[in-house]
Structure 1
Amino acid sequence: MNLEYKNLLPANFDSGSRVWIYQSNRLFGMMEALEVEKILTAFTDQWQAHGAPVKGFATLFFGQFIVLMADETQTGVSGCSTDSSVRLIKAIEERFGVSLFDRQLLAFVVKDKVQLIPMAQLAPAIQGGFVTGDTLYFNNLAGTKAELENNWIIPVKESWLKSKLPLQSA
């Protein structure tokens, strides 16, 4: 699995640009992914905050993660503009029959694929050796472009999960 994504991020966005990551509970099919990309582009092309255009970017990474970014150096995003992005994500959920707000579903790279594990199953996954401290984890809490670039796909032992469970490096 090619995990290179940084070169797909807009170079002309400030490193402090706000980021929202929405993880799907399943992989989008190819035709679905193409349609999601069109929906995201249409949204960012018309995204506004208090009548001013938002410098926005949105894409679907790895067929499963919607990343929405707003460079607030020109126009701040708040209230109504944030609500419009949430409405967009909810519309995508409804259109494609996916869940994009389930924070109890954790994503890892296992056997060269994105694998989803419910939080309740994490301890057994670690005990069974399916997930180790070195397993790559999608840290969807990344809130800025810099965090997305540097702290999105990280080993479990470097994530917030390290404090939850005893981990051993493989």
Structure 2
Amino acid sequence: MEQTIFDTWRELVPADFADNSRVWIYQCNRMLMMSEALQVEPMLEDFVANWKSHGAPVKGYANLFFGQFLVIMADESATTVGGCSTDSSVRMVKEIEQRFRVNMFDRLSLAFLVKGKVEMLPVHQLQYGIEKGFISPDTIYFNNLVQTKADWLNKWMVPAAQSWLASRYKPLTTV
């Protein structure tokens, strides 16, 4: 079986961050074009290089995955990330939104991996997607609610039947 980027993304996650490092995932309402992604990269690098909490540098990481998911991570083993430093990350995400005319705060849109592509589905259309066979218990769901590095590595891309969706949409439970 051919290996895809969806199989190798974990290689981009820094090994030197603690498993309990805090993670925030922002899902873009569309895939960024290559030219946009190339502009986002230095914005993320600059943010991480200057990220501080109460004047102390934050051991941070930020990257764009699959052109659509902005992941920010902070290893709090040395410096705890407070409200102001979290707010600064949100401001950076809002800057990306404004510059590229995208939405990264829509929590009512779900992302799935379908036929090798990230596909978005509004939550109110999920039942329809299940009934039409677009979404099955085995369809990979991007669980952007993960909060730690360990959960990001192990519970971000999961079959829909292993996510919170299965408790709300009975057809997603495996038989």
Q: Shorter-normalised TM-score: what interval? A: over 0.9
1:22-79, Cα deviation, whole Å (9 max, x unpaired): 0000000001001111100110000000000000000000000000000000000011
| Structure 1 position 95, deviation (Å) | 0.5
Q: Which of 112, 115, 123 lines up with 1:111 in the alignment?
A: 115
Q: Residue 92 in 1 paired to residue 96 in 2? A: yes
| Structure 1 position 90, deviation (Å) | 0.6
When the two structures are aligned, how many residues end up with a matched partner? 170
TM norm structure 2: 0.95
- Percent same amino acid among aligned pairs? 54
Q: Which residue is 1:152 aligned to?
A: 156
* Stretches of 4+ aligned residues off by more than 3 angstroms: none
Structure 2 residue ranges without an equivalent (≥5)? none
Structure 1 residue ranges without an equivalent (≥5)? none
| Structure 1 position 167, deviation (Å) | 2.0
How is 1:8-157 mapped onto 2 (pairs within 5 angstroms)?
8-157=12-161
SS, match of residue 101 in structure 1: coil
What RMSD, in angstroms, separates the aligned Cα atoms of the two structures? Answer: 1.1
SS, match of residue 167 in structure 1: helix
| Structure 1 position 86, deviation (Å) | 0.6
Q: Residue 2 in 1 paired to residue 5 in 2? A: yes
